[in-house]
Each structure stands twice: as structure tokens, then as C-alpha cells.
Amino acid sequence: MKILVTGGTGYIGSHTVVELIQSGYEVIIADSLINSDIDVLNGIEEINGIRPHFEKIDLADRTTTLDFFSRHKEIKAVIHFAALKAVGESVEKPLLYYRNNLDSLMNVLEGMNENNINNIVFSSSCTVYGQPNILPVTEETPIRKAESPYGNTKQIAEEIIADYCKTVALNCISLRYFNPIGAHESGIIGERPQGIPNNLIPYVTQTALGKRECLNVFGKDYNTHDGTAIRDYIHVSDLAIAHVLALKYLFNSKQYGNIEYFNLGTGTGYSVLDIINTFEKVNDLKLNYQFKDRRKGDIEKIWADPAKIINKLGWKATRSLDDMMRTAWKFETKV
């Protein structure tokens, strides 16, 4: 069974491709390589012994995307990761995010419909909740105004899919990620963004390596136990496994015209200083870090109630924060 993974050479996409191949699926990757590297395919092949089919494609280009789908009519489902994802950058370049993230989604949905592909797993985000009033967050938590254009693209994308499901034979699972970190246990693939990292962990590992002089901690006056922002961190391999389970759930659905939402987190919140302290402890290192003013678009604290995904998909996070810090450093230092 062939599965299209858009953004499949990216951080989360590549780990999901590994799990899909190990589960017996044939994978086709479509990626623009804007924020990933073609060498990731070598890592996937090294882990699994199978090299997925790859095409470099800008999914925000409608003509190119529809041509791609017309050449791959054997695809049975799509996992849609392809999107720009840096909160800070989205505040600075909102039109770039709206054009890229929403045009690519609509082109993919159109290509799916023209070729009778009925199942999609959408890569969403806990940013759709904004700063919730009550924690932990459930799938019934009200959607508040997004704190960033990035978060807004996820809100709008879910609305687009929900409206589209009403008009065509389409089923969707929208997985609302909390904060994926860590790397594959082998250390072969992990998070290595191009340029200066926007996410915490690659900045931590690059600072520890000496590639970055100092780690900036944005905000020390939040209403949290140590003044730094709190997130629900989840190991990327646990997150990847959830996509395989989501596909199986969709394939077992008997009725089309539905979008279902699942929070994908551990249910535990850790602060930025918790992350730093755990990284130092697990890897026997000291990090050079300094406090900076709060960053626009960031929320104060959020963590998930994962009960729904545990009960309906049979998924549960199995890797600890120590595992996340250990594998992230293993990947960063692997030659």
C-alpha cells in the first residue's frame, strides 16, 4: 500500500517514514527541501534497508502538484507534513506562511480528490489552542485566537479540511502535536534545521557542541515554577508511531466525510530550565545560556490531556525526557 508523505525529509516526516516502512507500507516522499536535506534519504535507507521514492516538488505550486498526483494514482493515503513551522519567523513574514502553508494544503486536497484518495493525516499543532485558560488541554478545549501567523495557518487549515470533508469522500485525522524533540535511537536521523535553529533542542545541542556561542532563553518572568515557559515535550519516534496508528484507524473507517482531532502529547509539562537541567544531567555537560526578553508569538504554558488518543488509537508515549535528551545529543555528535 503506497502512502504519500509530504515534507517527508523533514524532522518529523523522516521519522514517520521510518515507522511506515517498518510497518510494511511503501512510501513516496514529496518535499521542496526548503528546510531539510536530501541526505536524510540515506539515513532512512540505512535504518530500514529501503530507500523511499522521492520527488523534489513545491506543493504550493498548483500545476506541479496536480501533475504529481496524476502520475501517482496508486497512492492510498496522504500524511501532510509540508509546511513552514517557525513561530518567530511567521510573525516577521506572515504572508510567506499563509501562502506556503495554505496553498500547499489546498493543492494536495485537490490532487487527492481528482485521484480518489480518501484518507489524510494532517500535521496540526497545539498552537491552535492559543493560550488556554484551563490545563491540561483536551480536544474539547475552545480554540482561541492564535498567538502567531504559524498557529493561525494550522487553525485555518483545520477549517479548510473540515469544510472540504463535507463536500467530497474524504476522511481526516488532525494530529495536534505538542513539542516533538529527540532523535531516532540509532542517532542516524534527527532534528538538524538549516541555518540558525528556531526550535529549542537543536539550539541546545548546537550550543553544547560549540557551534553556537550561547543559548538564549526567552522570558524568565512567566507565571511558572521557575519563570520560564512550559511545554509538553514528546519524543519524535513516539510521535511518528501515532501516524501509523492514525492511518490504520482511517483505513478501518466505513464512512467518509469526517475530520477527527487528537492531541499528541505526553500529558506532562516541562519548563525551558527543566530541559536545560535534564540535558546537562543526562549528557554530563554544562550549557552556556542567558535570559532574553519574551519572544513575540510564544505562549506561557501548555500541556496535553492525551486520553482520547490513548483510548481510541491505542497510542501511548513510551520514551522519557531523559531519552529525548540522550538521543538528541547522540544524533548531534554522531559522525
DSSP 244-290: HHHHHHHHT----SEEEEEEES-S--EEHHHHHHHHHHHHT----EE
Contact 138, 262 (CB under 8 A): no
- Residues 2-182+233-265, CATH architecture: 3-Layer(aba) Sandwich (3.40)
| Inter-CA distances, 25 with 22, 76, 314, Å | 7, 10, 19
Contact 219, 297 (CB under 8 A): no
Contact 84, 67 (CB under 8 A): no
Query: Low-confidence residues of the chain, pLDDT below 70?
Result: 335
Can you say whether the dihedral through the CA atoms of 91, 96, 98, 102 is positive or negative?
A: negative
Q: Which residue has the cell 544524533?
A: 331
| Residue 252 confidence (pLDDT) | 93
Contact 120, 170 (CB under 8 A): yes
Residues making up the chain, counted from first to last: 335
- Beta-carbon contacts of residue 95 (< 8 Å; ≥ 6 apart): none
The secondary structure of residue 301, as a DSSP letter, is B
Per-residue cell: 226: 521557575
Query: Which ranges of 72-167 does DSSP label H, i.e. alpha helix?
Result: 87-92, 94-114, 149-165
Per-residue cell: 80: 501532510
**Which residues are annotated as catalytic?**
150
What is the helix (H) or strand (E) element at residue 117, kind and residue range?
Answer: none
